[in-house]
């Protein structure tokens, strides 16, 4: 039995700050994905929702919330939460149902209505919650972590603020070509340098915004796709949802301490590298076979780290890859041709799904002015709080 499932349809609600319910964004994305698939909501055997903690109780049961909004029709339902990895977990749940024969067609939906400013934990006293503790004890907002990662790269690899600015310039140029992006204006390195310092050395334009938005996928078995769609549809080949290995020697948000490596040898790879490796192994490919990648650029410095974690280059060589134009449109391995979070901002439950939407459009040859020539294999990568891996390999 193959683990491949077909991507029958993709759809998104544009990112922005619209001031409406996450349900509206998710339903719009779902209807767009169903229309793209040429299917009716009544054809769907299961719906999997990626949860939002900012939508109250309806957000905690997003699958049922979207099913109700689309119209109760008896489909199976599931809701998942894994912070920024929620979309990949939802996709993996859908794939498992299809491969197990529980449903021929599954709709995956994620949407969010984000707060203004940076994310913060939910209210109440929770002294056993590291995400809550980092705010109360350290005052460490997400940009603080992004700044620490940037400083680490500067100290270890010689990266500079100019390198970080190059990432923003590249992604903003791609976002300007994407009608679904929130920010659609090109940016210069001088504009990045002139923007306010948020968490030294990162400036405002080095850090992604919080956004509203939605994304959806219609997945099916290969047999169903061949009966009702193209003979060779875009396929999900692998989904990686791995966790870190003890002892964790590189701090990942929001942990504020790590286990000592004094008594236990550290693993041979970092957590994020293990995410990519698991995806490559399941897909039976190597990084040299990739046509493009969509990665989790919470900050410009973090995108450079993903180049190395995806094995697109060696350790410490991410900035050189960027400087050489390898990750730009027209380069050997374009990264974030959607515009990335730099152009979209974070709509947490939707973003891993949105990455797969972009890969699908690229592999179909439907990406317009940002099209990667001859795209055949793509990978997405991000991670969620407390060690949720998230990577998806999509093939044509």
What pLDDT is attached to residue 1? 43
Record the tokens describing residue 209, joined without a space: 């915004």
What pLDDT is attached to residue 258? 60
CA distance linking residue 122 with residue 115, whole number of Å: 12
Record the tokens describing residue 26, joined without a space: 């998710």
What pLDDT is attached to residue 268? 80
CA distance linking residue 80 with residue 96, whole number of Å: 14
Asked if residues 192 and 205 have their Cβ atoms less than 8 Å apart, the reply is yes
What pLDDT is attached to residue 386? 82
CA distance linking residue 79 with residue 298, whole number of Å: 25
CA distance linking residue 133 with residue 339, whole number of Å: 33
CA distance linking residue 382 with residue 50, whole number of Å: 15
* Structural domains of the chain sorted by starting position, each given as residue range(s) with its CATH number in brackets: 5-117+212-235 (3.40.47.10), 130-207+237-395 (3.40.47.10)
What pLDDT is attached to residue 233? 95
* % the chain with pLDDT above 90: 82
Record the tokens describing residue 260, joined without a space: 């000592």
> Helix (H, G, I), strand (E, B), or coil: what is residue 330?
coil
- 44 CB-side CA count, 13 A: 34
Asked if residues 207 and 118 have their Cβ atoms less than 8 Å apart, the reply is no
Asked if residues 250 and 270 have their Cβ atoms less than 8 Å apart, the reply is yes
Record the tokens describing residue 126, joined without a space: 């929770």
With tokens 């923003």, the residue in question is 168
What pLDDT is attached to residue 133? 87
- Comparing CA positions, the residue from 182, 214, 180 lying closest to residue 352 is 214
List average pLDDT for each run of 10 residues in the chain, which is 396 residues long.
88 97 98 98 98 94 98 98 96 97 98 88 83 85 92 97 98 98 97 97 97 98 92 94 82 66 77 94 97 97 97 97 98 98 97 98 98 98 89 97
What pLDDT is attached to residue 248? 73
């Amino acid at each position: 039995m193959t683990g491949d499932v077909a991507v029958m349809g993709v759809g998104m609600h544009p990112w922005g700050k619209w001031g409406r319910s996450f349900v509206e964004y998710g339903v719009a994305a779902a209807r767009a994905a169903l229309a793209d698939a040429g299917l009716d909501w009544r054809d769907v055997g299961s719906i999997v929702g990626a949860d939002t903690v900012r939508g109250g109780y309806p957000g905690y049961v997003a699958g049922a919330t979207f099913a109700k909004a689309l119209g109760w029709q008896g489909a199976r339902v599931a809701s998942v939460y894994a912070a920024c990895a929620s979309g990949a977990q939802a996709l993996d749940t859908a794939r498992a149902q299809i491969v197990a024969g529980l449903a021929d067609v599954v709709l995956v939906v994620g949407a969010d209505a984000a707060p203004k400013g940076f994310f913060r934990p939910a209210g109440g006293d929770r002294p056993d919650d590291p995400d809550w503790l980092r705010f109360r004890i350290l005052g460490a907002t997400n940009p603080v972590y992004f700044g620490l990662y940037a400083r680490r790269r500067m100290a270890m690899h010689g990266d500079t603020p100019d390198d970080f600015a190059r990432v923003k310039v590249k992604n903003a140029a791609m976002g300007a070509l994407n009608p679904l992006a929130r920010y659609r204006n090109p940016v210069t390195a001088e504009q990045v340098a002139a923007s306010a310092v948020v968490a030294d050395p990162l400036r405002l334009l080095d850090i992604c915004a919080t956004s509203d938005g939605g994304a959806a996928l219609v997945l099916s078995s290969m047999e169903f796709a061949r009966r009702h769609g193209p003979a060779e549809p875009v396929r999900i080949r692998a989904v990686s949802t791995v966790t870190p290995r003890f002892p964790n020697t590189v701090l990942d948000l929001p942990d504020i301490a790590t286990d000592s490596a004094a008594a236990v040898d550290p693993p041979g790879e970092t957590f994020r590298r293990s995410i990519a490796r698991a995806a490559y192994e399941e897909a039976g490919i190597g990084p040299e076979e990739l046509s493009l990648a969509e990665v989790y650029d919470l900050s410009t410095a973090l995108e450079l780290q993903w180049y190395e974690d995806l094995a697109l280059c060696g350790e410490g060589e991410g900035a050189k890859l960027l400087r050489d134009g390898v990750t730009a449109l027209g380069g050997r391995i374009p990264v974030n041709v959607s515009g990335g979070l730099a152009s979209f901002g974070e709509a947490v439950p939707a973003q891993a799904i949105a990455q797969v939407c972009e890969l699908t459009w690229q592999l179909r040859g439907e990406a317009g002015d940002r099209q990667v020539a001859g795209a055949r294999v793509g990978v997405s990568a991000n991670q969620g709080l407390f060690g949720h891996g998230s990577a998806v390999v999509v093939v044509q």
